[in-house]
Amino acid sequence: MDKTTVTLDESYDQAWEQLINFTSSRFFAIDNYEKDSGLMTLSFSSEPGRFIDCGQISTDGPPSCEGDYVQWFSERPATLDLDGRMNLNVREVAQDQTEIDVNVRYVATATGANGVQAAQWSFNTGGSDTQQVRANNFGATQTRTC
Domain spans of the chain? 5-145
Average pLDDT of 8-23? 95
Q: Is 115 exposed, middle or buried (0-12, 13-18, 19+ CB in 10 A)?
A: exposed
How far apart CA 7 and CA 24 sit, in angstroms, is 21
CA 15 to chain centre: 24
Please say whether the beta carbons of 128 and 143 come within 8 A. Answer: no
Predicted TM-score of the model (pTM): 0.77
Confidence of residue 6 (pLDDT cuts 50, 70, 90): very high
Residue 27 has pLDDT above 90, yes or no: no
DSSP assignment of 10-59 equals S-HHHHHHHHHHHHHTSS-EEEEEETTTTEEEEEEEE-HHHH----EEEE
Question: What's the pLDDT score for residue 126?
Answer: 85
